[in-house]
């Protein structure tokens, strides 16, 4: 556990030949449950096994637990999987993407986060991202009448929603939100031109019919996607959204397995699957999800918020560059302190991330520095309607 500005859980696996690999096991706001799952239940089963048997170890941990799926289990399995791929790459002397089939593209297109309290503010921030070379930008702005909302932070290059040692309370008003977002997109399209991709995260806050209406209202501005338009427990909802809008739909940052998105994909109810390495069982399982999605013309759009460590980001980039149906990668920069604790080999250039040629994942942990920043309890916020009703954050 280390907290260089925010909490990260990192698994380090060492072989008896002295090669080590790293895996990200961070589950924002519930970190210690994964630490316990690993320390108490997974690590004892790994001692003495053959580090090369990645698939067998994955199956052993998944089937062997009897209790399948879920974020804690799948983050723990993911960390083991990432670390074993890192080891395999280091032993082979090859960057991981080479073991996954080699590069299918020259770089990984990423989207940055422009956010501001007002429309004007947000558009200005988006212009500064454009000036940095970003080809895709997510837009989130404050909602008139609400003191705070998802995605709008003081800092313009980092966003850390897990901001307090007990959950902060946000407030919500759907009508006010639905009035402001189309205006934001209109202003942004006018200021930023036709070519840049514009994205938006609804963060699970609309009913299906509201999502249908927002999607339709955004159509003139050709959004790249509308993310997490409605909570995805009831996946029938997506049929209703689809009946009303051609705005592409993205979902899945909180999904953990193929089983969570199998029907959404096979019924072609989504366009982008956002599952990522750390929360969806590692590279081994994410490859399976992507291959399945490819059959149905669904592309990937991996989650890449700051709560996913540079270890996960490195793994995601090897994955992104090596699959045929890559769509886009979220990229929220980490703070300098985080980058110091996790020296890494990827770099940003002209709107894309490049993973580099270091063997394995191409990321390390400075354990001495990491030890200087002990775990600090931090929660994600909760969200209430203005009459106090607990809502979706
Ligand atoms: C995103 C996400 C994040 C999550 C965060 C929760 O699209 O980047 O919605 O902002 O809220 O990862 O820990
Ligand atoms: Mg999101």
389 CA → ligand 1 middle, Å: 22
pLDDT (tens digit, 9 = 90+) per residue, 226-251? 999 999 999 999 999 999 999 999 99
Residue 143 CA to residue 152 CA, distance in Å, equals 10
pLDDT (tens digit, 9 = 90+) per residue, 267-316? 999 999 999 999 999 999 999 999 999 999 999 999 999 999 999 999 99
pLDDT of residue 361: 98
Catalytic residue ranges: 150, 203
Which residues lie at CB < 5 A from ion ligand 2? 201, 253
**DSSP H or E segment with residue 216:** helix 208-218
Pick the CATH number of 99-391 from 3.20.20.10, 3.20.20.120, 3.40.50.300, 3.40.50.11740: 3.20.20.120
pLDDT of residue 157: 81
pLDDT (tens digit, 9 = 90+) per residue, 128-150? 999 999 999 999 999 999 998 89
Q: Which residue owns the Cα nearest ligand 1 atom 2?
A: 305
Q: Looking at ligand 1, which atom is closest to the CA of residue 305? A: 8
pLDDT of residue 105: 98
Residue 147 CA to residue 156 CA, distance in Å, equals 18
Identify the weakest region by mean pLDDT among 84-93, 116-125, 152-161: 152-161
The mean per-residue pLDDT over the stretch 195-202 comes to 98
pLDDT of residue 347: 98
The mean per-residue pLDDT over the stretch 103-126 comes to 97
> Phi and psi dihedrals of 253, rounded to 5?
-65, -25
DSSP, residue by residue, 109-143: EEEEEEEESSHHHHHHHHHHHHHHT-SEEEEEE--
The percent of residues in the chain predicted with pLDDT above 70, rounded, is 100
Q: Hey, which residues does 114 pair with through a beta bridge?
A: 139
Q: Which of the four pLDDT bands, split at 50, 70 and 90, describes residue 153? A: confident
What is the pTM for the complete model shown?
0.98
pLDDT (tens digit, 9 = 90+) per residue, 174-187? 999 999 999 999 99
28 CA → ligand 1 middle, Å: 9
Q: Which ligand sits closest to the CA of 138?
A: 1
Q: Which residue owns the Cα nearest ligand 1 atom 5?
A: 305
| Pocket lined around ligand 1, Cβ cut-off 6 Å | 28, 161, 201, 203, 253, 303, 305, 307, 330, 380
Mean model confidence pLDDT for the chain: 97
pLDDT of residue 159: 83
pLDDT of residue 183: 98
Q: Which residues, 6+ apart, have CB-to-CB distance to 388 below 8 Å?
A: none
Q: Which of the four pLDDT bands, split at 50, 70 and 90, describes residue 3? A: very high
Cα within 13 Å of Cα(52), Cβ side: 3
Burial 95-128 (b: 16+ CB within 10 A, else e): bbbbbbeebeeebbbbbbbbbbbebebbbebbbe
The mean per-residue pLDDT over the stretch 370-378 comes to 98
> Is residue 158 predicted with pLDDT exceeding 90?
no
Identify the weakest region by mean pLDDT among 159-163, 306-310, 330-334, 360-364: 159-163
Identify the weakest region by mean pLDDT among 81-95, 155-169, 195-209: 155-169
Judged on CB neighbours under 10 Å (0-12, 13-18, 19+), 15 is middle
- Is the dihedral angle over the CA atoms 379, 385, 389, 393 positive or is it negative? negative
The mean per-residue pLDDT over the stretch 310-331 comes to 98
């Amino acid at each position: 556990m280390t907290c260089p500005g925010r909490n990260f859980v990192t698994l380090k696996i060492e072989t008896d030949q002295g090669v080590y690999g790293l895996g990200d096991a961070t589950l924002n706001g519930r970190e210690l449950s994964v630490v316990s799952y690993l320390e108490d239940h997974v690590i004892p089963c790994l001692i003495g096994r053959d580090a090369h048997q990645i698939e067998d170890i994955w199956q052993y941990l998944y089937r062997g637990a009897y209790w399948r799926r879920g974020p804690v289990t799948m983050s723990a399995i993911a960390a083991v999987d990432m670390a074993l791929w890192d080891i395999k790459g280091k032993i082979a002397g090859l960057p991981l993407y080479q073991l996954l089939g080699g590069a299918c593209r020259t770089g990984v297109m990423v989207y940055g986060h422009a956010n501001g309290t007002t429309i004007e503010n947000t558009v200005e921030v988006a212009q500064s991202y454009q000036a940095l070379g970003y080809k895709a930008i997510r837009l989130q702005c404050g909602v008139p009448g609400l003191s705070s909302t998802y995605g709008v932070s003081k800092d313009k290059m980092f966003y850390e929603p897990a901001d307090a040692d007990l959950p902060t309370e946000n407030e919500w008003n759907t009508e006010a939100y639905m009035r402001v977002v189309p205006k934001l997109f209109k202003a942004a399209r006018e200021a930023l031109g036709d070519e840049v991709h514009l994205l938006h995260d609804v963060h699970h806050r609309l009913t299906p019919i509201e999502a249908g209406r927002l999607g339709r209202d955004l159509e003139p501005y050709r959004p790249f996607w509308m993310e997490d338009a409605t909570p995805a427990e009831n996946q029938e909802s997506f049929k209703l959204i689809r009946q009303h809008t051609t705005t592409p739909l993205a979902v899945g940052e909180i999904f953990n397995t193929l089983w969570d998105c199998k029907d959404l994909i096979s019924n072609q109810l989504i366009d982008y699957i956002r599952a990522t390495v750390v929360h969806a069982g590692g590279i081994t399982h994410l490859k399976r999800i992507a291959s399945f999605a490819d059959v149905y013309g669904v592309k990937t759009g991996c989650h890449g918020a700051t709560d996913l460590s540079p270890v996960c980001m490195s793994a995601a980039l090897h994955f992104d560059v090596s699959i045929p149906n890559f769509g886009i990668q979220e990229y929220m920069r980490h703070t300098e302190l985080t980058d110091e604790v996790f020296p890494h080999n990827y770099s940003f250039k002209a709107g894309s991330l490049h993973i580099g040629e270091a063997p394995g994942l191409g990321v390390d942990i400075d354990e001495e520095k990491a030890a200087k920043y002990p775990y600090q309890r931090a929660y994600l916020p909760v969200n209430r309607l203005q009459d106090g009703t607990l809502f979706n954050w």
